[in-house]
Structures are given as structure tokens and as C-alpha cells.
């Protein structure tokens, strides 16, 4: 990809929740709930999202039309046997994809067009575009690995909301810090949102899990590795961070489970004590997350459409997306 392109890399991995078998206890109850949930919810939204991303990429390559539009400065089109769908020269785009101009035409995230061109829709469209086949495959495999399991457990409404809102949150943070002539595309802000939601779901439903520490450390390790990869050049780590934080807060709001024993307590005798549906700390986390989420979006959107640069308010934040070394620079 050219030096101005920024691909949002993929977030991979999921922390397994471990359960004990045996007698009918707290752990077994929620193990049964998980199995019931898997049979109740059929994952169809995630496959639809994957199909939509693939379809958009095919349309993008069709619009790109390398044989007609490539001027030959970087060499000839790659995979010419694909005809109109052939890729840009590898010197221009090593990910087997379209040109930067085509991505901008299709709705890539460009700060100047969003702020000064009244094209706020790019905050949404950019998450359906990919810089190349490699970029697309990495993100879609990650989505299948993470998303199907979540959709089976929580349903398409909640998982779909987390995916879309997290992608939007990632686009906002990306626009605040990645400006000038840079463009950004990719679904990994939304993918990191799913990872963030998995982490907050584990925290807010802490009492129903066994092997909690192992699950927590595994998930944190996976998230840390993927965020660390974002410091490589030409990867938009701000989209990752924004998506992760959005999904993390949404998990406290949308993925809360009833505490153990609540269902059974409703069917006991009239004089029996009925348990509260949720633990007290779950209500507290829900309220804090909701306030922070709303405040974050309001502040972020106000700063964005005022044309403010996030780097002016945080002199070190640019290191979160690229750390210069002897092998590469981060000037652009």
C-alpha cells in the first residue's frame, strides 16, 4: 500500500470460559445455560457480515479497474488473468488490493473529507472496506473465530450492536489522531470491540465463571498482543484502541447475565426469598459504563467536527499507533 494508507489490522483470539461438570451447582447451571443459549441462538449475522465485506471488496476491485486506470508508474497490474478485478502493482499495494484513490472513492476514512467535506458517513463506510485480500482474510477469519461464539451466546441484536457501535467509536478516535492526507479502512475497530466486550463480560459476570484468573489472563494476553502489533507502521492502532474501549464499555451494558439462582428463586413458595436478578456491582458497572460511553462519544464528535487534532492535547499519544525504530520511521 502507498505510504499514506493505513490498514486496520485484525484482532484475533478468544478466551475460553471453563466450567466444572458434575452436580447441579452454580457452575453446572451456567454451563447448562451456555448450552441452552447455543441451541437457542443460531449464528447468522456474523456470516452475513462476512459475506457483505467480501461483496464490498469485489465491488471495490470492480470499480478500481486496474487494467484501465493504472498508469504504470509502479509497474503493471498483478494477477492480470482476473481482468477488471486484477490488483494494483505490488509496489503500490502489497496486500493485493485496490488503489488509494479507489478506496477514497468508495468511502475510506479521510479526516479532511469528514470535517470539511461534510462526509460524516465515512465514519461508517470505512469499516466495510479493506486494503487488500490479505487484510480482508485476516479480519474475516478473526470475525468468524470471535463473533460466532458471541452471537450464539448473546444473540444477533446485542452482538450486532457491539460490532457496529465499536466500529464507529474506532473511526472517531482514528479521525482525531490520524489526519493530514492519511486514509484508513478496515473492520478491526469493530473486531477489537468484540474483544473488549468479551473482557467486560467476563468481569461483570465474574461470579458465574470457574478458572476465572486463567480466562482473564488469557484474554488480556491476546488483547495485548494484538494491540502491540498496532505499533507497526501503516496500521491504524487508534481505530483498534477506540473500538476496544467502546466494546469494553458496551459489554458492561449489554452482556450482563442474571446471577446464579435467580431463575429458580422465582418458582419457589410464596414465603421464600426471591433473589435480585443482578448483583449490586453489576448495576454500578452498568451505570458507570453508560455514562462514560455517552460522554466519550459526545466529546469525541464535538472535537472531531470542530476540526481539533487529538495530538495537540496528547503529545505522546502518537506512540500508541507507531513507534519509530532503526527499520522504519513514523513521520507520516
Judge contact between 243 and 198, C-beta under 8 A: no
Neighbours of 44 (CB within 10 A): 11
pLDDT at 319 (0 to 100):
82
Using the predicted structure, report yes or no on whether residue 257 has a pLDDT greater than 60. yes
Q: Which segment of 158-162, 216-220, 255-259 scores lowest on mean pLDDT? A: 255-259
Judge contact between 183 and 103, C-beta under 8 A: yes
**Second-level CATH architecture of 17-43+119-320:** Up-down Bundle (1.20)
Report d(CA 144, CA 150) in Å as an integer.
10
pLDDT at 30 (0 to 100):
36
- Report the pLDDT averaged over residues 6-28: 39
Beta strands in 86-212 (DSSP E): 109-110, 183-185
- Identify which has the larger pLDDT, 21 or 95: 95
pTM of the complete model: 0.83
Judge contact between 251 and 264, C-beta under 8 A: no
- Confidence at 234, pLDDT banded by 50, 70, 90: confident
C-alpha distances in Å from residue 300, one per residue of 113, 167, 177, 327: 17, 14, 11, 33
Neighbours of 328 (CB within 10 A): 12
Active site residues: 188, 240
Residue 118's region, left for phi above 0, alpha for psi from -120 to 50, else beta, is left
**Nearest residue to 194 via CA among 6, 31, 7, 13:** 13
Q: Per residue in 87-146, pLDDT tens?
A: 999 988 889 999 999 999 999 999 999 999 889 999 999 999 999 999 999 999 999 999
Dihedral sign for Cα atoms in the order 146, 149, 154, 158? positive
Q: Per residue in 265-322, pLDDT tens?
A: 555 555 555 566 778 889 999 999 999 999 999 999 999 999 998 888 888 888 888 8
Domains in the chain: boundaries: 17-43+119-320
- Report the pLDDT averaged over residues 31-55: 74
Report d(CA 7, CA 131) in Å as an integer.
6
Neighbours of 86 (CB within 10 A): 19
- 273 φ, ψ (degrees, to nearest 5): -80, 125
Most confidently modeled of 57-61, 204-208, 310-314?
57-61
- How high does pLDDT run on average in the chain? 83
**Nearest residue to 86 via CA among 106, 72, 71, 70:** 70
pLDDT at 251 (0 to 100):
96
Using the predicted structure, report yes or no on whether residue 62 has a pLDDT greater than 90. yes
Amino acid at each position: 500500500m502507498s505510504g499514506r494508507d493505513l490498514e486496520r489490522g485484525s484482532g484475533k483470539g478468544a478466551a475460553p470460559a471453563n466450567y466444572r461438570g458434575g452436580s447441579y451447582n452454580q457452575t453446572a447451571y451456567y454451563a447448562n445455560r451456555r448450552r441452552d443459549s447455543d441451541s437457542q441462538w443460531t449464528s447468522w449475522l456474523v456470516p452475513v457480515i462476512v459475506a457483505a465485506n467480501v461483496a464490498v471488496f469485489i465491488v471495490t476491485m470492480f470499480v478500481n479497474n486496474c487494467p484501465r486506470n493504472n498508469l504504470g508508474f509502479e509497474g503493471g497490474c498483478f494477477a492480470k488473468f482476473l481482468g477488471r478485478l486484477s490488483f494494483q502493482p505490488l509496489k503500490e499495494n502489497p496486500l493485493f488490493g485496490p488503489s488509494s484513490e479507489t478506496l477514497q472513492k468508495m468511502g475510506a476514512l479521510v479526516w479532511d473529507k469528514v470535517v470539511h467535506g461534510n462526509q460524516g458517513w465515512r465514519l461508517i463506510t470505512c469499516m466495510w472496506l479493506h486494503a487488500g485480500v490479505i487484510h480482508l482474510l485476516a479480519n474475516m477469519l478473526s470475525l468468524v473465530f470471535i463473533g460466532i461464539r458471541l452471537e450464539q451466546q448473546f444473540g444477533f441484536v446485542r452482538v450486532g450492536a457491539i460490532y457496529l457501535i465499536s466500529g464507529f467509536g474506532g473511526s472517531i478516535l482514528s479521525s482525531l489522531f490520524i489526519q493530514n492526507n492519511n486514509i484508513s479502512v478496515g473492520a478491526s475497530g469493530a473486531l477489537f470491540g468484540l474483544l473488549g466486550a468479551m473482557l467486560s463480560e467476563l468481569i461483570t459476570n465474574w461470579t458465574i465463571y470457574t478458572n476465572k484468573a486463567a480466562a482473564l489472563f488469557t484474554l488480556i494476553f491476546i488483547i495485548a498482543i494484538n494491540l502491540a502489533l498496532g505499533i507497526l507502521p501503516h496500521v491504524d492502532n487508534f481505530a483498534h484502541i477506540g473500538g476496544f474501549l467502546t466494546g469494553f464499555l458496551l459489554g458492561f451494558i449489554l452482556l450482563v447475565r442474571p446471577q446464579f439462582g435467580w431463575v429458580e428463586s422465582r418458582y419457589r413458595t410464596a414465603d421464600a426469598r426471591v433473589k435480585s436478578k443482578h448483583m449490586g456491582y453489576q448495576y454500578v458497572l452498568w451505570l458507570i459504563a453508560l455514562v462514560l460511553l455517552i460522554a466519550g462519544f459526545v466529546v469525541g464528535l464535538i472535537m472531531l467536527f470542530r476540526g481539533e487534532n487529538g495530538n495537540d492535547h496528547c503529545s505522546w499519544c502518537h506512540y500508541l499507533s507507531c513507534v519509530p525504530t532503526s527499520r522504519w520511521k513514523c513521520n507520516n
